[in-house]
Structure 1
C-alpha cells in the first residue's frame, strides 16, 4: 500500500481546515463552468437538432410567395442557376371554429401532393395517418394546436377558407421544421391554442382557393455553393408578372429567425458571462492563498530547512489551488449537465422539435477545466513568488511588524466618543487600505451582479407594461381579409359593446437601405393615435406627421439607418409600387420591429385613399362574449386578437427559453455574492485569530470580540453598497443588450425595489457569514490561538 507523502498529508489537512472557504470559492468556479457547459450544450443541441431536422424533412432554402402563377411556370423556375429542386404549393389563410371557443382561430392552410411525398418541406406525422388524396375533406393539423384543444384523430372541425365554410375530418397530427416557432399572422408571441396549420391534398386545397392548375408559393432548394440572393433576384424577375410579393431566404422565415436569435444569444452569453465568475474566483483564491502563505512562514522555512526545494514547496500550495479549481470545475460540469437537461425540456415547449436531447459539447468540458485552472493559477502564481523568495532563515523569523506610524490618529475628541472596539475596527480599515479596498471591491462585484439581475427581472415586467399598457391601450385587434373602404370602421363602431374604434392600415413591404433589407410591414396610424401608439424614449406618444416613416429602435439598427436618411420601400400588395420615404424619427418599441406612418399619408403614397386593413377596439367587458360571436360571423374579418390572451402568451414565453435563463442567473448572482462575502469574513477571522484571543484574555466579552471582527465585515459591506450599485448600473446595460434581440428589446429599468432586493441579498449573505464566523469565534481554543505566530 502506497502511503501519501508528508506534503500530501499537509495538503489534505490544509484543505480540511479551510473547507468553508474552499467550498465557497469552488461554488463560484462551479457556477461559471456550469454556465459555460449549459450554454454551449444548448447551442450544440439546438443547432445540431435544427440542422438534422431541416435536412431530414428537406426544408426549403428560399420561399417565393406569389398571387397566382400557372403551373407551367415551374419548368422555368427549375432551370434557374443555383436551383437544385423546387416544390410548388397552394397556401392560404383560414379561420377555424371550434366548439367552446368564443373567437375564430387563425390558421394557415398548406397543400401537399395527393399521393406522394413532397420534394421539399415534408412533415413529421406524429399521430394518426396522412390524408387520402381522393377524400377532399381530410386534413392533417399541427400537433401543438391539436393538443392545446384536446383534439384526436377522427374529430371534425369547421374551417372558413376563401369565404366558404367547410367541414373537415382530422386524420392525423404533424410537426414541421417550417413551424418550429408558430405564431398567428401579425403576432410575435406563440400561442398553441390560437394558431393552427392545416395540411390538405393539393387537389382539395386548389379547389378551395381557386388554384386549379396554378400555385401561389414556390419553394427552392439550392445547389451547394449557390447564393440565395442571386436565386431570390432571379425568381422575383420571373414571377413579377404573376404578382410576386418578394422571395426571401430561410434566414428570414419567422420560425428560423426566432431560433437563430436564441442560439446567437446563448453563444454570446457563453462567451461573456462565465469569465466574470472565474475572474472573481481567481481574486478570491489570491486572497486566501496569500493569507495562508503569510501565516505559514515558519512552516515554509522548516520545509526548506529539511531539504524541500522551492519547486516542491511552491508545488504544495499550487496543488491546493488546483484542487479547489478542479473540484469547482467538476461540480460545474455536473451542474451544467443537470441544468442543461432541465432547460431542454423548456425548449421543447417553446420550440416544436419532434425531439431535443441535451448534447454535451466535449470542448466545453475542456474549456471549462482549462479556463478554471488558468484563472486560478493566475491568482496563485502571484502568491508563489513570495514562497520562492523566502529563505529558511528569513521565513523562520517572525515577519517584520508593519509600520502604522503614517496612518494617523483619530484625535482626542473622537477617542472620547468612540469606545475601544469601535476604534479597533476603524484602525483596521485605515491601516490596511489596500487589503480593505480589495475586500470592498469583491463585495461590490457580488452586489453588482445582484443589482443587474434584479434590474433585469424588473425590466422584463416593465417591457410588458410598456407594450401592453402604454403603447397598446386597446382590448382587441381586428384584421380584415383585405384592405377595405373606411365605411367598414363605421360598421364596427355600430356593434353593441364597442366603445372606441381606431383604424390601422398594414402594408407588407420590403424595407431597404443600401445592402440591408428587412421583410416586414408599414403600419399606418391615425394622426393622433390613442389605442395603438408609437412612443419616444420618455414614453410620450409621437404624433404621426405626414410625409415620412417612423422606425422602431430595433428596425433602425437592423437597417443601419437614422433619422433624416431616405428609406426604400418595396410594397408587396396591390400595385406594388416602390417608394422612397424619409425617416422622420426613431421611435421606441420593445416588442417586434415595426415601422409607422401617418395613415392618410401612407394611403396617398399608395394612391389608395380611405383604405384600412384592420382596427383596434376598446370594448365593454360585460358584452365581450356577444361581440366576439358577432365578429366571428362577419365575412370581412380575417382574425381577432385579444390583448389579454397575447399578454398571457408573452408571459409564458418570458418564463421559458432565454426568459427562464434570467432566473438561473439571479440564483447564480446570490451564490457569487455569498461566496465573496463569506471569504472576506473568513480571511479577516484567520488574520486576527491571535488578536481576538488576546482580547478575550484581557477581559473583553465574546460579544465585544465578535463586534471587533464583525464590525469590520459590516464596514466593508456598507462601503461596498454604493460602489456595487454603481457597477451594477453599468452591468445592467451589458446584460440587457445580451438578452435583447431583433424580435424584442429589454430596456434597463432601475427602481428602488431592484436595488433594495439586491442589497437585501448582500446583507443576508453578510448576516449568514457573520453568524458562521461568530460561531467559530465562540468555539475557538484561546490557548492554541495565542501560540500562533503571525
Structure 2
C-alpha cells in the first residue's frame, strides 16, 4: 500500500460521519435510478413479449352487425395482415357468494383452438370443447377476486334468457392486461370480468350466427394506419360501425403505456435531485479537507508528488464515497424495484411479469453516480493541485470582516450577543447557507410530492364519485329502450330516485380536428349526475347545444360559441351541427353532454333511454340486486360505493409504500445536508467556538450559536421547499394531463404539515449528534496555531 493510500484511509476514518451521510444520499439517488429503470425495463419487456407472442391487434372497431362474408373484403384493405371477427357482448352475471350483480364481457373464440389475434394464455384448466355451449374461460383476475375454480358455475342473462355457464379454464389476454370497463379509472375485478365462449354458442344466443359485431386487425410493417382506419370505417358504415381506433387508443394499452412513460420520467427526475445534493456536499467536504491539509499538500509536492498524483488522491476519496453509496443504492434499488414490479402485478396481468435488473442498469447507475460526484468536486480537486508548495506551507489568510447589513442599519441592538454572532456568520457565509437551504428544500419538496399523489387521487374520488356522480347504482341497458322504462325503473325495490340518460357513439369534428367519443344526454334538472365547473359550481344544461369537458375542448381546439359537427354512429347516423354552449372540468375521461330531450330530437326518436342513475334505500339493496340479476334488459350494473371501496383497498396500500420510501429518502437528505453543513462549520470554526468557551460562554451558548444557524437555514428551507414541491406538483399535473384521467393541482395543508414534521425530526436528529461533538470539544487541540 502506498503512502498516499494510507493517507486516504486515515482521511476516510477521520471523516467517517460525514462520508456515511453523503454515501446514504448517493445510495438514495442510485436506488431511485436502479428501481425505476429496472421496473421500466421489466414492464416494457413483459409488455412487448406478451404482445408479440399472443398477437395483440393494431386496430379495433365495434359495430352493430355484419355478415361473416364481409371479413374477406376487410382483408383486402391494403396493409391488413390478419383479420379477426368476433362477437362481443356484456351480460349480467350472478356470481356465487356475491350479493351484487356483476358484469361479464363475453368474447367469442373459435370452437377449435387455433392461433388468433388477442390470443389466450391459459393459466389453468383447458380450452373449451366443441359443442359444449355452457363452457367458458374466465379471466384470471376475475376468478381470483371471486374465488372461482375450475368446474364452478355462473348464472348469466344471455339475450333475455337465464343460462348457467361452467368454468373450464382460467385465461389471460393481451387485450385486457389492465382489466376495466371503458368508463372506469380503477378496476373492480370482483364485479367486472372477461369471459371467452365458443363462437357458435355465443353467436346463436345473440342472433349473430354467421355474423359479427367486433373486429380486430393486425397490420403489415410500414402500413399507413390512418388510411386503413379510414377505409375500414367506410366499409363498416352500412353495418353500424362505431368508428375504428388504433392500439394507442385501446384502454388497457393506454394505461400500461402511461405507466411506462411515468417510470421513465421518474428515473430521471428523482436521481437528479439526490445526486446533485450529493455532489454539492462532496464539494463542501473536499474543499474543507483541502483547506485543512494545505501543509500536507505542500509536503507531498516538496517530496516530488506530481499534481496528477495529488489530484488522483482526492479523486480516489470521492470515488470511495461514491462507490460505497452506489453499492448500497444498487442493492436497495434492486429490492425496491422488485417491490414496484410486484405491485404492478396487482394491476397489470401478464402470463409472466419477471423483475429484471440487468447489468446495463447497474452500469448506468454506477456511471451516473461517479460522473455526478467527480463533476461536483472538480473545483475542490483543482484547488488542491494548483497550490504551490511555498504558498501551501502558509496558513490560510484570515477572513476579511466588515459590518453586516443589520449592523449598518442599527438593528443589532435588538439581538443578544449570541444572536449577533449567528446573523454575522450567516451573512458572511451566505453562499454556503444558500446551498444548504436549497438542499434541505429539495428534501421538503420530495415529501410534498410524495403526499401530492395521495391528495390528488383522494380529490378525484371526492369530486368524481361524490359530487359529480351522486347515484348509488348506474344501469346500462342492452339496447336503447322506450321512455316507458323511465317509469318502470322507479318501481324497482328501494329506488328513491331515478334519472335516465341517453348515450350515443359519435365522432365530433371541428375544422380539421376530430375525436371519436360518446355523446351523453342527461336530464336537465338532474341531481344524481351533475356537471361542475372548475370551482365545483353546477353548470346548467341548456335545452340546445353541447357542453364539453375542458380536455375534450382542448383536443378539438374549440371554444364556447363555436359550431361543432356531430356525426352520430348509430341508427340512421345523422350529421348535425350544434353550438358549444359550455365547458365542465371533469377529471376522468372525455365527455360531451346535451339535454336528453335535445339528443332524442337530434336522433329523431321518442323518449328513448340507454340507462339510468338510481338513488337507492340501502335497506332494500339486497332485493334490488336480486331483481337486477334476473332483468334481461340490463347489460351492466355499476355500484358507486364499491368503486370507492376498491380504490381504497388497492390504491391506499400502494401510496403507503411509496410515501414511506420517500419519507426515508427525504429524511436522509435532510439529515445529510444539516449534519454535513454543521459538521463543516464546526471544523471551520472550532478555534472560534473554543475561544468563546474560554472567555466564558457556556456549552449551551456555543451550541446555540452553531445549531442556531442550522435552525435558521432549516426554517428558511421549509417554505422554499413547500413552494418547490407545489411547483413540481404543477409539472406533474401537466405530465398527467391524459385523456383517460387528469391529476388536479391539489396540495393540502396536511401535506405541508407532514413535510414540516419529517424535516424537523431529521434536523433535530442531526443537531443532537453535533451537540454531542460540541460537548466533547478539545479546547487545547483546537486552539493550537500552525506556525
Q: TM-score range by the shorter chain?
A: over 0.9
Give the superposition deviation at 1:133: 0.7
Distance 1:282 1:560, change over 3 A: farther
What is the SS of the residue equivalent to 2:534? coil
What is the SS of the residue equivalent to 1:449? helix
Point out the more displaced range, 446-455 or 138-147.
446-455
User: In structure 2, what is the equivalent of residue 485 of structure 1?
Assistant: 482
Distance 1:230 1:723, change over 3 A: same
What is the SS of the residue equivalent to 2:156? strand
Distance 1:370 1:33, change over 3 A: same
**1:94 partnered with 2:91:** yes
User: In structure 1, what is the equivalent of residue 590 of structure 2?
Assistant: 593
CA distance in 2, matches of 1:551, 1:607: 22
- TM-score under structure 2 length normalisation: 0.94
Spell out the pairing of 1:406-417 with structure 2 (5 A cutoff): 406-407=403-404, 410=407
**1:787 partnered with 2:781:** no
CA distance in 2, matches of 1:183, 1:721: 41
| 8 Å CA contact retained: 2:483, 2:606 | no
User: In structure 2, what is the equivalent of residue 161 of structure 1?
Assistant: 158
Point out the more displaced range, 345-354 or 8-17.
8-17
What is the SS of the residue equivalent to 2:345? helix
| 8 Å CA contact retained: 2:118, 2:175 | yes
**1:374 partnered with 2:371:** yes
Spell out the pairing of 1:37-186 with structure 2 (5 A cutoff): 37-184=34-181, 186=183
The match for 1:349 among 346, 350, 371 is 346
What is the SS of the residue equivalent to 1:39? helix
Give the superposition deviation at 1:414: 6.3
Distance 1:300 1:528, change over 3 A: farther
| 8 Å CA contact retained: 1:658, 1:739 | no
Distance 1:556 1:129, change over 3 A: same
Spell out the pairing of 1:78-477 with structure 2 (5 A cutoff): 78-184=75-181, 186-407=183-404, 410=407, 418-477=415-474
Distance 1:658 1:770, change over 3 A: closer
User: In structure 2, what is the equivalent of residue 505 of structure 1?
Assistant: 502
CA distance in 1, matches of 2:513, 2:664: 40
Give the superposition deviation at 1:764: 1.0
| 8 Å CA contact retained: 2:406, 2:412 | no
Distance 1:70 1:788, change over 3 A: farther
| 8 Å CA contact retained: 2:451, 2:659 | no
Give the superposition deviation at 1:239: 2.1
**1:745 partnered with 2:742:** yes
What is the SS of the residue equivalent to 1:59? coil
1:403-446 alpha-carbon deviations (Å, 9 max, x no partner): 21243674898666644333322221233223322222322232
| 8 Å CA contact retained: 1:112, 1:118 | no
1:345-382 alpha-carbon deviations (Å, 9 max, x no partner): 11111011111011235443333222222222222112
Give the superposition deviation at 1:521: 1.5
**1:554 partnered with 2:551:** yes
- TM-score under structure 1 length normalisation: 0.94
Give the superposition deviation at 1:149: 1.4
User: In structure 2, what is the equivalent of residue 674 of structure 1?
Assistant: 671
* Structure 2 unmatched ranges of 5 or more: none
Spell out the pairing of 1:646-725 with structure 2 (5 A cutoff): 646-655=643-652, 661=658, 664-725=661-722
| 8 Å CA contact retained: 1:453, 1:732 | no
| RMSD over aligned Cα atoms | 2.5
CA distance in 1, matches of 2:290, 2:37: 37
What is the SS of the residue equivalent to 2:646? helix
Distance 1:668 1:523, change over 3 A: farther
CA distance in 1, matches of 2:593, 2:785: 75
**1:28 partnered with 2:25:** yes
What is the SS of the residue equivalent to 1:400? coil
CA distance in 2, matches of 1:170, 1:454: 43
1:24-83 alpha-carbon deviations (Å, 9 max, x no partner): 222222222222222222222122211111121122222232222122222222222111
CA distance in 1, matches of 2:411, 2:60: 80
CA distance in 2, matches of 1:510, 1:360: 44
| 8 Å CA contact retained: 1:106, 1:184 | no
Give the superposition deviation at 1:124: 0.9
The match for 2:641 among 638, 644, 654 is 644
CA distance in 2, matches of 1:19, 1:247: 64
Point out the more displaced range, 587-596 or 361-370.
361-370
